[in-house]
Amino acid sequence: MTPSGPSTSTTAARPRLAQRRGPLSAAVADALRSGGPPSYATGSVPEADPWGEDLQLALYLLYELHYRGFHGVDDAREWDPDLLRLRRAMETRFLDALRTALPDAPRSVEEAFAPLLVEPVDLSGSLSHRLQAEGGLRELREYAALRSLYHLKEADPHAWVIPRLTGRAKAAMVAVEYDEFGAGRADRIHARLFADLMTDLGLDPAYGRYLDRAPASLLATVNLMSLFGLHRALRGALVGHFAYVEITSSPGSRRLAEAMRRWGAGPAAEHFYAEHVEADAVHEQVVRHEVIAGLLADEPGLEPDVAFGCAATVLLEDRLATYIGEAWDHGRSALREPLPEA
């Protein structure tokens, strides 16, 4: 790709509502457009596929009201009781499916994180390894478009846990988040760095731009963070999710930086991942030894929740990697609609 300067497109603009994918997402989208209550059939939530396009998009739309909102949607809908009632029903469906899929989920922090602390011998299921070893520019662009739904709000959902922590855990969490948000420099905010990466790859860096193209398996990974972040009762699970992100980020980012370099994606594209190699190696230590240890010193009963947060993240990341890998194996786009050529 032709190197480019920093992105001039802002990620602050509100995205437009996505196209519906079924009755639940239609009910949410119509309610947000009209200002009225959502209209859906009794029993539609219990009957919905918890991993499917419809429920995951509906959840995403409702969660997004707590981030940037949508163009033309009243900010007051964030706390609309009818929308919250529907969201709660879908959250229960999603959370029950996660727990059902993890009948032998680890109960201790050591059991949950030990497998992540050693680089596996077999990396065949790793997307970063695949992109480093054999991916091309098309795959890198698709991967970035998919991940933009998280990286353009990077660290935002984890910030919700800060007021729910105390002492040692809070101080360490704020220190890590301070780095994620650029250490006081707007041009170093990680979400901004990812927007610049997208520009280098010939992608539109507008916030939420690729929502319509994102499959349910990707939406679920973003929804998981919002689910954990918005519920104080799930604060331990959010810390477990954050620890997974920091533990796995450094080696994956190293491989992705090499892939960006090999394909000449551009300096900003390479820099985003290079930045995470060193920073997240440090963050991993702080999160494990200060955030988690501090939290469990204060609230030891949350250990199973921390372990569950990690296990649920592993589950959804594996599901996403399988989905993307199978699409690429069969010569298909991993997006619901292929990207235009750069």
* Residue range 109-329, CATH number: 1.20.910.10
Domain boundary assignment for the chain: 23-101, 109-329
pLDDT at residue 281, rounded to an integer = 83
Least confident of 12-26, 116-130, 245-259, 319-333: 116-130
Checking if the pLDDT of 66 tops 50, the result is yes
176 — alpha (psi -120 to 50), left (phi > 0) or beta?
A: alpha
pLDDT at 11: 44
- pLDDT band for 172, please (50, 70, 90 cuts): very high
Q: Which token pair is 91?
A: 């959250």
Name 58's Cβ contacts closer than 8 Å, sequence gap at least 6: 22, 24, 25, 27, 28, 86, 90
211, 60 in Cβ contact below 8 A? yes
Is 168 within 8 Å of 290 (Cβ atoms)? Answer: yes
pLDDT band at 316 (very low <50, low <70, confident <90, very high): very high
Confidence grade of residue 150 (pLDDT, cut at 50, 70, 90): very high
For residue range 258-297, list pLDDT tens digits in order.
999 999 999 999 999 998 998 878 899 999 999 999 999 9
DSSP, res 163: G
Q: So what's the pLDDT on residue 121?
A: 52
CA distance readout (Å), 231 to 90, 145, 203, 235, 294 = 14, 28, 33, 7, 20
Q: Would you say residue 91 has pLDDT above 60? A: yes
What's the rounded Cα separation, in Å, for the pair 275 and 190?
9
The two tokens of residue 268 are 């900003």
Has residue 311 got a pLDDT over 80?
yes
